[in-house]
Amino acid sequence: MDDRAVDAGRRQLLKLTGAAALLSAARLSFPSGAFAQSTGPEVKGTRLGYIALTDAAPLIIAKEKGLYAKYGVPDMDISKQASWGATRDNMALGFKANGIDGGHILRPKTHLYSTGKVMQNNQPLPMYTLLNLNEDGQAISVSNEYKDLNVQKDSSPLKQAFERKKAAGKELTAAMTFPGGTHDLWIRYWLAAGGIDPDTDIKVITVPPPQMVANMKVGTMDCFCVGEPWNEQLVNQNIGYTALTTGELWSRHPEKILGMRADFVDANPKATQAILMAVMEAQQWADKRENRQELAEIVGRRQWFNVPVGDINKRLLGDINYGNGREVKGTNLQMKFWGDGGSSSYPWKSLDTWFVTENIRWGKFEPNFDIKALVDKTNRADLWREAAKTLGVAGAPTADTRGVETFFDGVKFDPAAPMDYLKALKIKRVA
């Protein structure tokens, strides 16, 4: 045989052997043969939005650590949004129209978008809740104007101070980030528990999270509720103080979610599973205490939050400087991303039930609204369980309910009887 023919044959054999080795390695690295073209994700990625809040970390970590690529969606674009209103508008556009197909959103937004309650022309945008990004890690902060009151979980000391200010002809303002969203519900709950009606005693306004500190600095608000790092930054700049973290209002409360347009999920089930697995692995990494400093350094970078690490890292460890002389360390008030068996990540339907119920309380939904139908339509815990099974998660939740929840003022919420919960509350918009 001609020597050139022999060499050509050897080269071809080496190519085939190398390709087989690469394919074998890929199958070992990725779940269920994710690299096989016939079974891989339908698309290589899409665009997810996020707001500069610490609880967006799992989406960012999944990008920074190459986890989207690991699970077969290497072209994921994690895009900063200017506000929750901008997030809504870009979600309505969708990625094909240069918007977003999902992302880091306030948990009730799935319900508010899907019913059209906050959409342009009340046009419903079907959405799914895929996983809970985090528990706890928000706070309610108060202007230094009220520092002498040392306001904490009990907001009632503010009632007389607000009445005096109002009598002097000055406007009272409480800020949150989106009507009907988590921060709106937390600050309303806190004020109302202290006898302050958020609809009549104070003006509740919407301010994007990154603008909270600057607005309180110029004296345009009396209190606000937002996620980190903005409460810690407020304290570090000595502009106001933290009255309470939201974990003190409701321990291990759900907060942000990975929410996605239903049309994307329905059309791309394998890509959705890939995105879920990447984010879930990122949550596991983020939940480890030894990774918290690196997490703060990553999200603080210019391309993500552009925030000093010192405004992020301490509260991630449960070290809370309230800014009014109180300082505690090593608490369980830190942000939780994963939990035992993924319990912090799992999108419990019973918790969705509370959010819809609380939005009935403040008039976002009608008193006779069918809560269960909306929750069943939007909550895709089944997809979470499928991803957890592929990942081999031990002890993963399988039920729909986490049980009866208890708030800081002793009021209990039984998801089987949501309207009984409303009856127990002092201030509400429904009878």
pLDDT score recorded for residue 431:
64
pLDDT score recorded for residue 374:
98
pLDDT score recorded for residue 430:
82
Averaged over 88-97, what is the pLDDT? 98
Q: Is the pLDDT of residue 210 over 90?
A: yes
pLDDT score recorded for residue 176:
98
Burial class from Cβ neighbours inside 10 Å (0-12, 13-18, 19+) for residue 96 reads exposed
Nearest partner of 41 among 257, 265, 262, 258, judged by Cα: 265
Q: Is the pLDDT of residue 240 over 60?
A: yes
The bridge status of strand 240-245 relative to strand 138-143 is antiparallel
Query: pLDDT (tens digit, 9 = 90+) per residue, 153-183?
Result: 999 999 999 999 999 999 999 999 999 999 9
Averaged over 256-283, what is the pLDDT? 98
Read off the pLDDT band of 80 (50, 70, 90): very high
pLDDT score recorded for residue 348:
98
pLDDT score recorded for residue 39:
84
Percent of residues, the chain, with pLDDT higher than 90: 90
pLDDT score recorded for residue 53:
98
Nearest partner of 180 among 47, 88, 98, 55, judged by Cα: 88
Cα gap 104→216, rounded to integer Å: 25
Give the three-state DSSP class for 60. Answer: helix
pLDDT score recorded for residue 184:
98
Least confident of 30-44, 97-111, 299-313: 30-44
Percent of residues, the chain, with pLDDT higher than 70: 91
- The secondary structure of residue 254, as a DSSP letter, is B
Q: Is the pLDDT of residue 2 over 60?
A: no
Averaged over 362-389, what is the pLDDT? 97
pLDDT score recorded for residue 263:
98
pLDDT score recorded for residue 168:
97
> Does this model's pTM top 0.75?
yes
Averaged over 125-154, what is the pLDDT? 98
3-state helix, strand, coil in the chain (%, to 5): 45, 15, 40
Give the three-state DSSP class for 430. Answer: coil
Report yes or no: 83 and 93 within 8 Å, Cβ to Cβ: no
Query: pLDDT (tens digit, 9 = 90+) per residue, 329-341?
Result: 999 999 999 999 9
Averaged over 233-254, what is the pLDDT? 98
pLDDT score recorded for residue 280:
98
Averaged over 273-284, what is the pLDDT? 98
Q: What is the mean pLDDT of the chain?
A: 92
Q: Is the pLDDT of residue 19 over 90?
A: no
Averaged over 196-213, what is the pLDDT? 98
Cα gap 299→321, rounded to integer Å: 21
Query: pLDDT (tens digit, 9 = 90+) per residue, 242-251?
Result: 999 999 999 9
Burial class from Cβ neighbours inside 10 Å (0-12, 13-18, 19+) for residue 328 reads exposed
180 conformational bin, left if phi > 0, alpha if psi -120 to 50, beta if neither = left
> What's the angle, vertex CA 134, arms to CA 313 and CA 405, rounded to 5?
120
Averaged over 365-372, what is the pLDDT? 97
Nearest partner of 306 among 233, 238, 215, 225, judged by Cα: 233
Query: pLDDT (tens digit, 9 = 90+) per residue, 406-427?
Result: 999 999 999 999 999 999 998 9
Averaged over 18-31, what is the pLDDT? 38
Averaged over 81-88, what is the pLDDT? 98
- What's the maximum distance between 2 C-alpha atoms anywhere in the chain? 104
pLDDT score recorded for residue 281:
98
Averaged over 309-325, what is the pLDDT? 97
Averaged over 65-77, what is the pLDDT? 98
